[in-house]
Structure 1
Amino acid sequence: MSILVTGGAGYIGSHTCVELLNAGYEIVVVDNLSNSSSESLSRVKELTGKDFEFYPINLLHRQDLESVFKRHSIEAVIHLAGLKAVGESVSLPLRYYHNNISGSIVLYELMQEHGVKNIVFSSSATVYGTSGSVPITEDSPLGATNAYGRTKLMIEEMMRDLHVSDPTWSIALLRYFNPIGAHSSGRLGEDPNGIPNNLMPYITQVAVGALKELQVYGNDYATSDGTGVRDYLHVVDLARGHLKALEKVIATTGVEAYNLGTGQGYSVLEMVKAFERVTGRNVPYKITSRRTGDIGVCYSDPTKAERELGWIAYKGIDEMCLDSWRWQTYNPQGYLAANEVAANL
């Protein structure tokens, strides 16, 4: 029996694949490589010493995905595939609704047809919208402020309805806060296309000289220094959260949401100072206007995940910064250079 990982070549997906393989699971990966690289999967095999099947397909292509279910005995699915940039979702909402929601529907229909009813879904803290109080619990009001978050919220509701229709489904909805960091080897990390949408790869690209300065979106929030506060989580801790959730869905039935975060909030400028302190690199920045869809303060209460999944975040902010910087210095062009070498062979 195998675990199907959709979006397994991506930032979170590749780290999750490493943890799954190291824990003894057999995996099958599907990813259309629209915002990821097959090089990450080559490095997953290198780091773990284990092989697995990879299919470069789009979830919207039903026949292609169906062939994967026919070829493999799937026990459970970890569903990470989807478009993920908040800013882009504001300007291209129909693309996000079509890709994220329609692709998920195709996946769930095929799961249902093939009797696969265990799933860990990659949701997001954006489903909480402008929650009035922090720390945010799983019972906090829901209401996303951008198209990306709304797709996650709609898929969550879809899965709750699916469970109502068939209580034998077992579903974990993982609401990530802000994953950063990289594998300690420096072989896996976040490799954004173009100008990064997330803070840490933006910081590291400025530090390495690929970008001139960090754009800080707003300094008039009700925070200690006016910049936005987020709950930053090491991606390896996040990947471990998927394993804990997988154990839960395989062993039980039901549908539950879990926050995956540290419970600690850091502002943008606090993150810049922490990075400069642990790496010794200067990060020039410029204050610009707020970004549409952003909120001022967002950090988690992760106690439910600890209580029900036995999961906690172990890695602190220094390790997050150092691992991010190691990835950037070892891979100044991300996976691009490796891909170019392969293309010229």
Structure 2
Amino acid sequence: MTKTILVTGSCGLVGRRLCASLRSHGVLVKELDLLGDGSHNGDITRTADIECAIQNCVGVVHLAAVSRVVWGQRDPELCWRTNVMAVQNLIQAALAQSTKPWVVFSSSREVYGQALSLPVGEETPLNPLNIYARSKAEGERIFLEARKQGLQTAVVRLSNVYGCTKDHADRVIPAFARAAIQGLPLRVEGSDHTFDFTHVDDVVRAINFLIDALCSRQKFLPPPVHLVTGNQTSLGQLAELSLRLARSGAVITEAAPRSYDVAQFYGDPTRAHTILGWKSEISLETGLSRLINDFSQELKLHRSVEVAA
């Protein structure tokens, strides 16, 4: 029997790749996204949209969110309404189904704040520093509490996912890649800040493993799990790597880091390997090289269209 799975945030970086991957495996995918077309269009903050979309689904992968720290800082009320109140509505809609679907929540490494030791394991106490991180921590709490009402839930914590040209242009990896290709300055805000950059294809593969486990094991209630590489790269190193891979002569300019950003993070990937049999396969150099090539091809196409016009 064909499985039907709802993916919220289906037009986002992870959502696009996940929907394509699920369909390639014969899954019937329902989508819910503000940017979706036709029946795929919907707002997770509207209860009616969630209640309609979740009908007859065996599971839900909840990716939709105010998904960036800076957006949360600009509009805290929208961040909380989208990342917390909509999560409550989603859980209630799932509990109301005659056959309750499993539900996966996409959280963030931001929930830890500035951890005292690295690498960060999932048992590290949560210490969110900004409204976005607090909203994700509260979303996790809601999801884990829902288990007491009989809902099968799982939480994944993502870290600096990259790997698609459709990503937000001002995120650090797309911004560095585009600037390097075009010979523009690479602005580094906190060159010694280090992060765990994870390729979107690795993340999608892990979520597929998690979905398989949730579908095949009725009482599978995993603890929160990192989808990370276990490697750290500074923003300064990332900028230099971008220039090298793009064969660019662009310059690197340094600026002060933002006050609300975590300065260092890289995660321990052991739990994902133990529970799901997953570990990342795409190195930062390989993933960034692919992305730079994709951006280069898009730029060439854009220029050829301009010439033809």
In 2, the alpha carbon distance for the partners of 1:120 and 1:272 equals 33
Are the aligned partners of 2:195 and 2:265 in contact in 1 as well (CA < 8 Å)?
Answer: yes
After TM superposition, give the deviation of residue 24 of structure 1 in Å: 2.5
In 2, the alpha carbon distance for the partners of 1:54 and 1:320 equals 33
In 2, the alpha carbon distance for the partners of 1:32 and 1:10 equals 10
Q: For residue 280 of structure 1, what is the aligned residue in structure 2?
A: 247
If asked which structure has higher relative contact order (CA below 8 Å, sep 6+), I would say 1
Q: RMSD between aligned alpha carbons? A: 2.3
Return 152-161 or 288-297, whichever deviates more. 288-297
Q: For residue 70 of structure 2, what is the aligned residue in structure 1?
A: 87
Q: Show CA shifts across 1:301-339 (max 9, x none).
A: 00100010111100112211112113322334999xx9x
Q: For residue 62 of structure 1, what is the aligned residue in structure 2?
A: 47
Q: For residue 223 of structure 2, what is the aligned residue in structure 1?
A: 256
In 2, the alpha carbon distance for the partners of 1:190 and 1:135 equals 30
Q: For residue 172 of structure 1, what is the aligned residue in structure 2?
A: 154
1:78 aligns with 2:61: yes
TM-score (norm 2): 0.90
After TM superposition, give the deviation of residue 15 of structure 1 in Å: 1.1
Unaligned runs of 5+ in 2: none
Unaligned runs of 5+ in 1: 39-52, 183-188, 220-226, 339-345
* Correspondence 1:220-235 to 2 at 5 A: 227-235=192-200
Q: For residue 152 of structure 1, what is the aligned residue in structure 2?
A: 136
Equivalent pairs, count: 298
Q: Which amino acid aligns with 2:26?
A: G
In 2, the alpha carbon distance for the partners of 1:330 and 1:172 equals 38
Q: For residue 24 of structure 1, what is the aligned residue in structure 2?
A: 26
In 2, the alpha carbon distance for the partners of 1:236 and 1:26 equals 20
Are the aligned partners of 2:188 and 2:239 in contact in 1 as well (CA < 8 Å)?
Answer: no
In 2, the alpha carbon distance for the partners of 1:11 and 1:109 equals 26
After TM superposition, give the deviation of residue 5 of structure 1 in Å: 0.3
Q: For residue 217 of structure 1, what is the aligned residue in structure 2?
A: 189
In 2, the alpha carbon distance for the partners of 1:134 and 1:190 equals 31
Q: Which of 2, 15, 18 in structure 1 is aligned with 2:17? A: 15
In 2, the alpha carbon distance for the partners of 1:229 and 1:131 equals 12
Q: For residue 80 of structure 2, what is the aligned residue in structure 1?
A: 97
Are the aligned partners of 1:119 and 1:246 in contact in 2 as well (CA < 8 Å)?
Answer: no
Are the aligned partners of 1:218 and 1:290 in contact in 2 as well (CA < 8 Å)?
Answer: yes
TM-score (norm 1): 0.81
> Any idea what SS the aligned residue of 1:297 has?
coil
After TM superposition, give the deviation of residue 29 of structure 1 in Å: 0.8
> Any idea what SS the aligned residue of 2:285 has?
helix
Q: For residue 112 of structure 2, what is the aligned residue in structure 1?
A: 128
Are the aligned partners of 1:191 and 1:334 in contact in 2 as well (CA < 8 Å)?
Answer: no
